[in-house]
A and B are shown apart, each in its own frame.
Chain A
């Protein structure tokens, strides 16, 4: 075996242990005689060689090595030593973190599944309880209202057909649907609440819904969909098949409606109104006013002798001198006053300029006085939540039809001066009605 002189240093270990082969010894010693450095190294190694040549020392060293090796073989690394190492600590920490993450993730997942099931159950409850509430109301059943609701769980069941998906997958799917639905509803409610906080003075005109505009079953279904975050009573809590007008008029009075008695709203119209609100979130500024029926209070003050009319028309007066029309409303709005002489076409009495929304503005519960010349046989008051546009006489005649559901009530009170003050309350029991039209006949003396 040929080795360079420099590589012969590698044989020094064999020299000390006296394990060199004769060939290696020949090469090493020949090189040592030629190389002083290698010779010095061998001379220094002689001390170790002598030490290792002692059988006692060699046996002790072997025993020590055997002991170390047997310890390593039997128990390569005890758990304690393994944990003391940084790598062991890192592994243990990582494993613990992984186990913790798995446990936490499983728990959160199960909780989400439970919550999703709970939400789905809550969502499925109204269709089951709705027939009971409907049955308690002696109104004719309205199948189109309940049918779509009953279809909802059916659709849910069909979506989760057994055998096609696992239970966990179905639950996750339902949870995702519920979550998306709740987020959408939350967005609607948030926008609604924002609109409530900052009502806009310039609200778009909404035509009052008539009986024909009463919401159909599909609309009622949309309006009666549960809104979890709404604090107002949802339409599902009240019978949804009541007719909007003319049926609860006996229980309501124009005076109570004027002063804000809103406990007996017709749910059908309310559902329609809610549907309209949901479809036009930007018009939420009218939410407060729309939940309160339009109402005005007026009386005619005659300068001189005031005699209540004894005829059938409530509020008709015998004119003895000039008249002041005192009017106030239960909410902010706009009003026009028209006068009719009988032979002449209707004449615009107030405001002087029809397109003056500021002058025609009527602040809630602030009485306005409108002087009326004693030449008119009838004066007509139009009160609306929204400003009026320019009306021609033809338009006036066409829109002069008194809206349905409008209640009128007179109330007489004795004033401090001893005179009797007769006030007329006019209100529409339909909270969604956007306009009041009051015709006041004036009896000439």
Chain B
């Protein structure tokens, strides 16, 4: 699958996903913005395993940006560009607070996991792959590790309140 085919497929998936989250018009705008970024800023990325996660990352940024814009709706177009302060290269306080709260929730959720799930999560944070975890947990089948990880992930998501955000 070449880059154009991947981008075409990505556009369909991104539009469908965005439509499920925002309005149709905004979804099309989001999709267009994502593809524009991939086309303009990452023209050399051709591999599937690189383009897809990159597309997810850009899509998330664009959706968060659209969310912020929606919050500031009305102010965005009324103020002149000259009166706006210079943008901070670091995250804004709202983003920092949001991230801090998410981390705290994640820590609390991980603390509620069972011993095996905590061990599994720890090894994943250490960068160990599923085959490596399979050896660490002395399991003959890697599907066992996949199943355990899926259950642990489901539990963690439940402890997080049903969303990672």
Contact = CB atoms under 8 A, between A and B. Distances in A.
Interface of A: 1, 7, 9-22, 24-26, 29-30, 32-33, 36, 39-40, 42-52, 54, 57-58, 60-62, 64-66, 68-69, 72
B164 A20 contact: no
Contacts of B163: 44
Contacts of A72: 115
Interface centre among B52, B57, B124, B152 (most CB of A within 10 A): B52
Nearest to B57: A46
A12 B153 contact: yes
A52 B125 contact: yes
B35 to A, nearest CB: 14
Interface in B133-153: 142-143, 146-147, 149-150, 152-153
Contact of A46 (B13, B59, B127, B152): B59
B153 A57 contact: no
A39 B17 contact: yes
B110 A64 contact: yes
Interface in B55-74: 56-57, 59-60
Contacts of A57: 99, 103, 106
Interface string B9-27: 1100100110010000000
Nearest to B5: A33
Interface of B: 1, 6, 9-10, 13, 16-17, 20, 48-49, 52-53, 56-57, 59-60, 99, 102-103, 106-107, 110-111, 115, 118-119, 121-122, 124-131, 142-143, 146-147, 149-150, 152-153, 163-165
A21 B6 contact: no
Nearest to A65: B122
A36 B49 CA distance: 17
A304 B56 CA distance: 152
A20 B132 CA distance: 11
A22 B13 CA distance: 22
Interface centre among B10, B56, B150 (most CB of A within 10 A): B56
Given A43-B17, A65-B110, A65-B118, A13 B153 contact: yes
A124 B121 CA distance: 81
Q: Is the interface of B mostly helix, strand, loop or mixed?
A: helix
19 contacts: A9-B150, A14-B129, A15-B53, A19-B128, A21-B129, A33-B10, A33-B52, A40-B20, A43-B60, A44-B163, A47-B165, A50-B57, A51-B99, A51-B102, A51-B106, A52-B125, A54-B99, A61-B125, A65-B110
A47 B146 CA distance: 21
B111 A47 contact: no
Given A19-B128, A32-B13, A61-B110, A66 B122 contact: yes
Given A43-B59, A54-B99, 5 more contacts: A13-B150, A16-B153, A17-B127, A21-B130, A60-B103
Contacts of B60: 43, 46-47, 50
Contacts of A54: 99
A30 B48 contact: yes
Contacts of A9: 150
Contacts of A50: 57, 60
A81 to B, nearest CB: 14
B125 A62 contact: yes
Given A39-B17, A45-B164, A51-B102, A29 B130 contact: no
Contacts of B57: 46, 50
Contacts of B119: 69
A36 B13 contact: yes
Contact of B125 (A29, A65, A69): A65
Contacts of B99: 51, 54, 57
Contacts of B129: 14, 19-21, 24
B119 to A, nearest CB: 7
Interface centre among A24, A29, A30, A52 (most CB of B within 10 A): A29
Nearest to A52: B125
Contacts of B52: 29, 32-33, 42
Contacts of A16: 153
A404 B13 CA distance: 134
B114 to A, nearest CB: 11
A17 B124 contact: yes
A165 B110 CA distance: 66
A69 B48 contact: no
B98 to A, nearest CB: 10
Contact of B107 (A24, A32, A64): A64
Given A14-B149, A26-B49, A64-B107, A39 B13 contact: yes
B164 A33 contact: no
A128 B53 CA distance: 107
B111 A64 contact: yes
Contacts of A58: 125
B31 to A, nearest CB: 12
B118 to A, nearest CB: 6
A244 to B, nearest CB: 94
Contact of A24 (B111, B130, B143): B130
A339 B153 CA distance: 124
B66 to A, nearest CB: 14
A7 B146 contact: yes
A32 B9 CA distance: 10
A10 B122 contact: no
